[in-house]
Amino acid sequence: MNASAAPLVEVRGVSKRYPGVLALDNASLAVSPGEIVALTGENGSGKSTLSKIIGGAEQPDGGVVLVDGAETVIANPATALKLGIVMISQELTLAPQLTVAENVFMGRLPRRGRVIDWATVRRRAREELAALDVHVDVNARVGDLSVELQQEVEIARAVSSKARLLILDEATSSLSEHATERLLELVREQAKRGVAVLMISHRMPELYSTAGRAAVLRDGKMVGTVPLPSTPESQLVRMMVGRELNDYYGSRDCVPGDVVLQVRDLASADGALAPTSFEVRSGEIVGIAGLVGSGKAQLGMALGGAIAATGDVRVNGSPVTLGDPRRALGAGIGLVPDDRKRAALLPTRSVAHNMTLTWLPKLSKFGVVPTRTEKRRVKEAIAEYGVKTSSPAKLITQLSGGNQQKAILGRIFALDCPVYVLSEPTRGVDVGSKSQIYALLQKLTESGAAVVIISSELPELIGLADRVLVCFQGAVHGEVSGEQLQEEVLNAIAVSGHVHSEEPS
């Protein structure tokens, strides 16, 4: 370890202003070779902005950036790359129409004379990926891969480009637990070799198992740096949110009522989900767990009509036409899909128009949107769901990821549906907002909704759900509730389809 060495990258007093917000306010931070620093803070506290400045994607309005102790202007990501600064974010930067091999070597394709040496490209890509234990066909088109594999390819590219500073901006937020563990292992490995790492994640266990230090941003200001893992989580959280955070998952005061959602032999047309049956009562939260590819994502999509499916789904006894999101919404199933960017956001529209999109049929009279009412409803929803934005007219893509998610959740929660199907509802959301979202969910459930939560975060399922169904290889392999509702049990079913009685530990 080399934590006492001269910092590889240091920022001193940087500020950055966007229209209406001071995203960074005189923030300073140093990262030394071999050190893993966690950059923490609530959504919108300026973490991505700081990483973008170091990664050359944004320029500070004030302050300086030092690389190897010398004042440097990182004018663009290409300059950063030359300096050995590689940024990996949740927004993938791979070219979807190119192959895996092309992506790994993009911008630095090995040549023989003036022509690209494709055989070498493929061979070396295969080697690089194998070294990281990533099993993927180097000739596959990246766009055809799962998000997880894409993220691994992205990391392979970063590692193979000999990074000196790795910036991981919520790189794990779209990964499964297993893939996350592998990525973190890789990061620790790189750090041992002297690479400096700046990581952003909202999952506390990740930070505690990986980072040696946590820097905390609040409202663009650097509040302080604390050692990890010796600092208690509660203290770190308090620094982030500026207040005490107890009763994280909240509680609800209701007894499950009548069956609201009846699912019989629901199967996806693509075969990823075998016929599945279950029921959800009003006032009940049912969790769905499982690894990536276990069919849990398809279960949510099928319920929301997003994909073609067969079977029988009923809400309050009336059958729902499958495979049509409009019918599902009409029948009272509110779906929040897991892939925010692909399936939920309108990137060219304002926060307000993103939120009202789903309310239009209810809001409008004779096809006309009453803008006054609309403005009021949006304002109320922004306040109620805690969306941090300087104005409802702001482009939604200018919000931080967690606030985008809150806007997306808010537009569905405001519908008063009898059934909610939420896929990874807190992906990329900070602890403070998570706690807010959980409280909203509890309230929703108390008021009689039947809620299905699909999540890869087991603590979340255990903290919220009355019972959890575990998917394994495309089918539900068990229902866990009460005393049994523990991570070990859920994990066991998720990886093997049944509970081991004599699991070696």
Give the interface with Mg ion as residue ranges (CB under 5 A): 48, 400
Site for other proteins contains 322 (CB under 8 A): no
Stretch of 204-212, 313-321, 360-368, 437-445 contacting other proteins, by CB under 8 A: 360-368
Nearer Cβ to ligand ADP, position 19 or 504? Answer: 19
Least CB distance to ligand ADP at residue 198 (A): 12
CB 177 within 8 A of CB 324: no
The single-letter code of the amino acid at 360 is: L
Q: Does 321 bind other proteins (CB under 8 A)?
A: no
Q: Which tokens is 283 given?
A: 């006032």
In angstroms, rounded to a whole number, what is the distance separating the alpha carbons of residues 51 and 31?
Answer: 12
In DSSP terms, which residues pair with 285 in a beta bridge?
451
Residue 369 Cβ vs other proteins, minimum distance, rounded to whole Å:
6
Minimum gap (Å) between residue 473 Cβ and other proteins: 26
**SS3 annotation, 150-217:** HHHHHHHHHHHCCCCEEEEECCCCCCCHHHHHHHHHHHHHHHHCCCEEEEECCCHHHHHHHCCEEEEE
The DSSP result for 304-357, as a single string, is TTSS-EEEEEEETTEE--TT-HHHHHHHTEEEE-S-HHHHT--TTSBHHHHHHG
CB of 41 to Mg ion, least distance (A): 9
The answer to whether 494 and 290 have CB atoms below 8 angstroms apart is yes
Pull the structure tokens for residue 170.
Answer: 């919520």
Q: Whose CA is closest to 284, among 447, 475, 471, 454?
A: 447
Residue 463 CB, nearest distance to other proteins (Å)? Answer: 27
Please identify, among the stretches 178-186, 312-320, 365-373, 435-443, the one whose residues bind other proteins according to the rule CB under 8 A: 365-373
Nearer of residues 13 and 323 to ligand ADP, judged by Cβ: 13
Q: Where does this chain touch other proteins (CB under 8 A) — which range of 35-43, 176-184, 265-273, 337-345?
A: 337-345
Task: Pick the closer one to Mg ion by CB: 45 or 268.
Answer: 45
Whether residue 296 contacts residue 454, with contact meaning beta carbons closer than 8 Å, is answered with yes
Residues that bind ligand ADP (CB under 6 A): 18-19, 21, 23, 41, 43-49, 398-400, 402
Task: Give the nearer residue to other proteins in terms of CB position, either 31 or 431.
Answer: 31
316 contact choice in Mg ion, ligand ADP, other proteins, none (CB below 5 to 8 Å, kind-dependent): none
Question: Which residue, 43 or 268, is less far from ligand ADP as judged by CB?
Answer: 43
Distance CA 355, CA 344 (A): 10
Question: DSSP secondary-structure letter at 455?
Answer: -
Q: Which of Mg ion, ligand ADP, other proteins, none does residue 418 bind (CB under 5 to 8 Å by kind)?
A: none
Contact of 307 with 270, CB cutoff 8 Å: yes
Q: Does 5 participate in binding other proteins (rule CB under 8 A)?
A: yes
Q: Which of residues 70-109 bind other proteins (CB under 8 A)?
A: 70, 72-75, 79, 82-84
- 90: Cα separation from own chain's centroid: 7
Q: How far is the CB of 44 from other proteins (least distance, A)?
A: 20
Residue 255 near which of ligand ADP, other proteins, Mg ion, none (CB within 5-8 Å, type-dependent): none
Q: Strand, coil or helix: what is 110?
A: coil
Which partner from the list ligand ADP, Mg ion, other proteins, none does 72 bind, CB cut-off 5 to 8 Å by kind? other proteins
96 binds, among other proteins, Mg ion, ligand ADP, none (CB under 5 to 8 A by kind): none
Minimum CB–partner distance for residue 169 and Mg ion (Å): 6
Q: How far is the CB of 348 from other proteins (least distance, A)?
A: 4
Report the alpha-carbon distance of residue 83 to residue 31 in Å, rounded. 14
> Would you call 36 helix, strand, or coil by DSSP?
strand
Residue ranges of E strands in 32-114: 36-41, 62-67, 70-71, 85-89, 111-112
Percentages (nearest 5) of helix, strand, coil residues in the chain: 35, 25, 40
Identify what 44 binds: other proteins, Mg ion, ligand ADP, none; CB under 5 to 8 Å per kind.
ligand ADP
CB 83 within 8 A of CB 74: yes
| 45 binds, options ligand ADP, Mg ion, other proteins, none, Cβ within 5 to 8 A by partner type | ligand ADP
The reply on whether position 348 binds other proteins by CB under 8 A is yes
Partner from other proteins, Mg ion, ligand ADP, none contacting 295, C-beta within 5 to 8 A by type = none
What's the half-sphere exposure (Cβ side, CA atoms, 13 Å) at 208? 12
Q: Which stretch binds other proteins (CB under 8 A): 116-124, 277-285, 338-346, 483-491?
A: 338-346
Tokens matching residue 34:
């071999």
Q: Does 344 bind other proteins (CB under 8 A)?
A: yes
Q: Give the residues lining the site for other proteins (CB under 8 A).
A: 2, 5, 13, 15, 19, 26, 33, 59-64, 68, 70, 72-75, 79, 82-84, 162, 164, 193-194, 304, 306, 325-326, 329-330, 335, 337, 342-349, 353, 356-358, 360-361, 364, 367-369, 371, 411
